[in-house]
């Protein structure tokens, strides 16, 4: 006699880090968002309205994303220098070692 049907295993959503291009679980990455008014900022909730991009929570990935054209490509704009400075300040609080996926 067969038991009750099993629930399908839930897939963990994956996203790709814009700096190192390595995939990781959505919850393992930090989401950045381009708001309607064109600002780029960190999205701690992961649910803010706007175009999103993801970065590993490591200083190496964070700095690479800010230096290269990764953000320009991901957001289709050149981020405001004040926004980049705010993101750079946050990046300095991240661990210096690279993440396992980097």
Q: Provide the token pair at 39.
A: 């600002």
* DSSP code per residue over 50-80: SEEEEE-SSHHHHHHHHHSTHHHHHHSSPPP
- Quote the pLDDT of residue 101: 45
Predicted local distance difference test score (pLDDT) of residue 7: 65
Beta strands at 14-16 and 23-25: parallel, antiparallel or unpaired: antiparallel
Phi and psi angles of residue 24, each rounded to the nearest 5 degrees, phi first:
-155, 165
pLDDT score at 2? 64
Among residues 14, 96, 17, the alpha carbon closest in space to that of 58 is found at 96
pLDDT at 65: 94
Task: Give the pLDDT score at 9.
Answer: 77
Spell out the per-residue pLDDT of the chain, length 102, in tens. 566 667 677 888 999 999 999 999 999 999 999 999 999 999 999 999 999 999 999 999 999 999 988 999 999 999 999 999 999 999 999 988 644 444
Map out the domains of the chain with their CATH numbers: 14-91 (3.30.1230.10)
Q: Distance (Å, rounded) from C-alpha 24 to C-alpha 77? A: 25
């Amino acid at each position: 006699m067969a038991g009750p049907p099993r629930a399908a295993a839930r897939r963990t959503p994956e996203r790709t880090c814009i700096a190192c291009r390595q995939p990781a679980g959505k919850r393992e990455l930090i989401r950045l968002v381009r708001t309607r008014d064109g600002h780029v900022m960190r999205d701690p909730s992961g649910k803010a309205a706007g175009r999103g991009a993801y970065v590993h929570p490591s200083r190496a990935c964070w700095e690479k994303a800010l230096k290269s054209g990764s953000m320009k490509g991901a957001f289709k704009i050149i981020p405001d220098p004040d926004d980049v400075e705010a993101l750079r300040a946050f990046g300095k609080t991240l661990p210096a070692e690279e993440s396992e996926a980097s």
